[in-house]
Amino acid sequence: MHSIVKSLSYNLYKSLRDIAPIVMVVVAFQLLVIQQPMPNVASLISGLAMVVVGLTLFIYGLNLALFPLGDSLAHAFAKKGSLFWLLTFAMALGFGTTIAEPALIAVANEAANIAAQGQLIAATPESILAYSSSLRYTVAFAVGVALVIGVLRIIKGWPLPWLIMGCYLLVVLITAVAPAEIIGIAYDSGGVTTSTITVPLVTALGIGLASSIKGRNPMLDGFGLIALASLLPILFVLIFGMVML
């Protein structure tokens, strides 16, 4: 019981620390620059409390249940030596963590609402939901593919800069033919995908892999998975936009 309280309060402190800079900057601007009564203060404060409590429970649960299992799985697959299962696991891990990523859920919903307001899609709840979920599935699939490529890179020792440059080049080429309405959300989706759930599990996979292969430097080879996972979604969402819009 004691350890639960301790770990919950530690997570609460961390969520408060996450939200503190935003609250401080907003309050400072309200007091010093805007100097007008703030609308809906009560609703904002209760909403922020929900964000803090929600984030605390979320991270507490991840640390309790999913991270230890994911971590040991990542190491087990990295050492097991079966390329097929390793790649299948990488694909599944990338997909599953991205679907559950809170920031992506939020931004995809907002993108769907904006698309409905701009009459890009029908303004019915069904089509808004369909748009935001297909956006998320596209991004999640892209992260899965990125991890497969990233794992292959670590095993084969391909140089990261060449892969990144190749992706940049493809992104630039496809941007030229993609519809203007998808470009903003496509470029944003790269930064959105990699946060609370994805980063710890993906990092565990990368470091585990690089340290279990002889002659690999965990520093040099273990990183770079996140970079690919933030680049491929841009590419895939651009293609999604060309097909869907």
Partner 1 sequence: MNWAMTFSQHLGLQVWSTLFDLLPIVTIIIAFQVLVIRQPLKKPLQLGVGIAAVILGLALFLMGLEQALFPMGKMMAKQLTSPLLLTGSATKIPIWDDYIWVYVFAFCIGFSTTIAEPALIAVALKAHQVSAGSVSVWGLRIAVALGVAIGITLGSYRIVVGLPLEYFMMAGYILVLLQTYFSPKLIIPLAYDSGGVTTSTVTVPIVAALGLGLSEQVVGSNPLIDGFGLIAFASLFPIISVLAYAQIAHFINTHKLRSST
Binders of partner 1 in range 115-154 (CB under 8 A): 115, 117-118, 120
Q: Supply 55's token pair.
A: 């984030």
Q: How far apart are CA 221 and CA 154, in angstroms?
A: 6
The binder of partner 1 chosen from 106, 122, 123, 242 (CB under 8 A): 106
- Beta carbon of residue 214, minimum distance to partner 1 (angstroms, whole number): 19
- Beta carbon of residue 102, minimum distance to partner 1 (angstroms, whole number): 5
The verdict on 223 binding partner 1 (CB under 8 A) reads yes
Using the minimum distance from each CB to partner 1, give the nearer residue, 109 or 124.
109
The binder of partner 1 chosen from 31, 53, 83, 122 (CB under 8 A): 53
The verdict on 239 binding partner 1 (CB under 8 A) reads no
The verdict on 245 binding partner 1 (CB under 8 A) reads no
Using the minimum distance from each CB to partner 1, give the nearer residue, 66 or 239.
66
The binder of partner 1 chosen from 10, 13, 31, 47 (CB under 8 A): 47
Q: Which residues contact 182 (CB under 8 A, 6 or more apart)?
A: 237, 238, 240, 241, 242, 245
Site for partner 1 in 9-38 (CB under 8 A): 14, 17-22, 24-26, 28-29, 33-34, 36, 38
40 conformational bin, left if phi > 0, alpha if psi -120 to 50, beta if neither = left
The binder of partner 1 chosen from 59, 90, 209, 232 (CB under 8 A): 59
Q: Supply 140's token pair.
A: 């999640």
